[in-house]
Amino acid sequence: MSAGSAGSARSAGSRLPADVEPGVCAAFRDALDLVGSKWGIAIIVAAGGGPIRFAELHRAIPGISRRMLTLTLRTLERDGLLVRTVHPTVPPQVEYAATPLAEELFRSTRALSEWAENNHERIAAARAAYDGRGFA
């Protein structure tokens, strides 16, 4: 092996699963397909408190456009994370509610969110240190 015998210690101190199945990353990416969009988690959280109407969601999530609200609602509904109920009144009234599946999913995101809350300072420090090299 020409230039490749640095003997990498990759079989020794593996602190993460060295023989990581492709599945590990794939599963994470699958999860992101479900709630990785800009507004996905916000909508699930907002709809987790009970049925909520379109206009209420729009107010509850500052900055979202009607278009993105509609699109994200459709995706979440299709994925079985939201149920959409139309009340044939006039004017029309539509309610969205998070499913048990969405609530499980949300609970599974908490560990990651909490890690981010607990470490955002360390991240900021790392970024500052990185940015402060080269033009000091």
Partner DNA sequence: CCGAATCCTTTTTGATACTG
Partner DNA sequence: CAGTATCAAAAAGGATTCGG
- Is it true that the peptide bond before 91 is cis, omega within 30 degrees of 0? yes
Strands, E assignment, 1-136: 52-53, 82-87, 93-98
Dist. CA 63–CA 125, nearest whole Å: 29
Member of 64, 86, 112, 135 binding its own copies (CB under 8 A): 112
CB of 129 to DNA, least distance (A): 17
Closest CA to 97 of 126, 77, 124, 114: 77
Q: Which of residues 45-104 bind DNA (CB under 7 A)?
A: 53-56, 63-68, 70-71, 73-74, 84, 86, 91-95
Asked if 115 interacts with its own copies (CB under 8 A), we say yes
Q: Which of residues 16-75 bind its own copies (CB under 8 A)?
A: 16-18, 20, 23-25, 27-32, 34-36, 38, 41-42, 44-46, 48-53, 56
Contact partner, 7, from its own copies, DNA, none, Cβ < 5-8 Å per class: none
| Contact between 106 and 45 (Cβ < 8 Å) | yes
Comparing CB distances to DNA, the nearer of 37 and 109 is 37
Contact partner, 59, from its own copies, DNA, none, Cβ < 5-8 Å per class: none
Amino acid letter at 59?
R
Residues counted in the chain: 136
Q: Which of residues 12-51 bind DNA (CB under 7 A)?
A: 37-39
